Structure 1
């Protein structure tokens, strides 16, 4: 399984009717270094601009890798390294995903994940590598100053959060069950 965060730019084949794209191919993804087996597809809808979901993860043995794609609107998608012993522990990478650009973000196990909607009525579809396990559900505070994510919050918008996300622990209060595997955080674009 890959420990790289990968930004994928699927090719779109278009004509006067519109376009076609292949959003997932096991063989193609393996060529990108992503050998993840996905077991579930999820779909989220966020009505207001500025909806912030995250930073989420699941602990072992129910860790989840994710393959994120925005099919309506735009999001700023983020992965934070939470692997103990990593030289990039607490560092983050982010990318804009939109229905227009068709990009996808592959987030491996050992990274907290979150996104901010940049338009109203945004829809996100994502694959996960393990089922939801409530007892293994975890999170880190979205605005942790030790992480310092530069969320592109639109002027005049206060992020809309779930009650759970508003009270997540800070990174300094978190004891990570994830181990560093030798691959520091970097955003690889393919």
Structure 2
């Protein structure tokens, strides 16, 4: 999986972010977590901070549910917290990227909830909120990484190995 360029992952996550409200409006996934996971493994802390700041500002421009700057602060704090953890995910394997994506999603959700509670007068914490926001949605983010980023790459590599062009171009008429 080391052959996946960061630009491809960024563009796919940007498209997922832009179309997420149309495809699944009730589920608030964080598609940029997959890009952040690969970024942490491939870039230094300084480069990761600058790139996540840009992605956070982009999320601030797209979303209007929180005040401007919350996503930028959230992504930078998450990067500061989790970038050092890349030593535990030293290989770019599918399971490690999905696990790191879930961890990034959970920490971003926790920071977002803290920011929301700090700026709002009421802050209701329930078991349902804890289960859905802090456990279920990070798992869905990790599964989305597999479905939206790795599955197309795996299918592309498989189709190149199987030489689909030659199989499709063959004359399939039966000769008796």
TM-score, normalised via structure 2 length: 0.26
Q: Tell which has more relative contact order, 1 or 2 (C-alpha 8 A, sep 6+).
A: 1
Q: TM-score, normalised by structure 1?
A: 0.24
* Richer in strand (by share): 1
